Amino acid sequence: DAGVTQSPTHLIKTRGQQVTLRCSPISGHKSVSWYQQVLGQGPQFIFQYYEKEERGRGNFPDRFSARQFPNYSSELNVNALLLGDSALYLCASSLESGTHYGYTFGSGTRLTVV
Amino acid sequence: EDQVTQSPEALRLQEGESSSLNCSYTVSGLRGLFWYRQDPGKGPEFLFTLYSAGEEKEKERLKATLTKKESFLHITAPKPEDSATYLCAVQGVRTGANNLFFGTGTRLTVIP
């Protein structure tokens, strides 16, 4: 049974460019969340989507946006990249949007901004 | 504001030397406290969810406990394969049911 899959695994971009990261949740999971993990820190919440609607947003600038598709896959977009956007971007899926269902993380996309 | 503090930042143990990791938290109404294990370059791997003070959960050499202010992850007779970063996260009523608030983790190294 496939877990949460993220693509690409690694990415190098130049300051000012735009990037799109992709996530496919576990089959049957309707909720997808995005987290940013800077080296040496814990993951920080960016967005949650459930049934194609935004259910939560963390403290990130408007350069960050996301969407969820009818098949529950999701994309995270970051515009006007800054050096500080370099991080591991993690996607987590769950059955529903609440606590009682575990959050399963993918292996992440390592974004390097130069 | 929700806050999670993990200690120690790093811990080196000899194989078989039991110890505990601490997660102190402040949250306005705890929905759940989560423990994850993370290997370098990988995503966090779910270990436990605890919901109320006094609750305990076990999995192999790991045991998680919860009080009203902190959680402990006890590691009994660790093996080198237990080496990883252990992350604690909380989900609070105020932040809604939508996100986890993580600590910075404890980096555990088990020496053969």
CATH number of the domain where residue B99 is located: 2.60.40.10
Which range of residues forms the domain containing residue A28? Answer: 5-113
Q: How many domains does chain A have?
A: 1
Per-chain mean pLDDT for chain A: 93
Tell me the mean pLDDT in the region A7-24: 98
Does residue B111 lie within any of the structural domains? no
Tell me the mean pLDDT in the region A71-79: 97
CA distance B78 to chain A (A): 23
Check pLDDT > 70 for residue B95. Answer: no
Per-chain mean pLDDT for chain B: 93
Tell me the mean pLDDT in the region B47-65: 95
Tell me the mean pLDDT in the region A56-73: 95
CA distance A44 to chain B (A): 7
Q: How many domains does chain B have?
A: 1
The closest alpha carbon to B74, from B5, B2, B27, B11, belongs to B11
Neighbour-count burial for A41-70, b at 16+ CB within 10 Å, e otherwise: ebbbbbbbbbeeeebbebebeeebbbebee
Check pLDDT > 80 for residue B93. Answer: no
Partner B contacted by A60 (CB < 8 A): no
CA distance A12 to chain B (A): 16
Does residue B8 lie within any of the structural domains? yes
In the stretch 79-108 of chain A, residues with CB closer than 8 A to chain B read: 88, 90, 92, 97-100, 102-108
Of the CA atoms within 13 Å of residue A79, those in its CB half-sphere come to: 6
Which range of residues forms the domain containing residue B41? Answer: 3-106
Check pLDDT > 60 for residue B96. Answer: no
Contact flag B105-A42 (C-beta cutoff 8 Å): yes
Q: Choosing among A35, A44, A103, A111, which should be mutated to test the B contact, i.e. which has the most B CBs within 10 A?
A: A103
Considering CB atoms only, which of A4, A42, A103 is closest to B104? A42
The pLDDT value given to residue A73: 97
Which comes out higher in pLDDT, residue B96 or A69?
A: A69
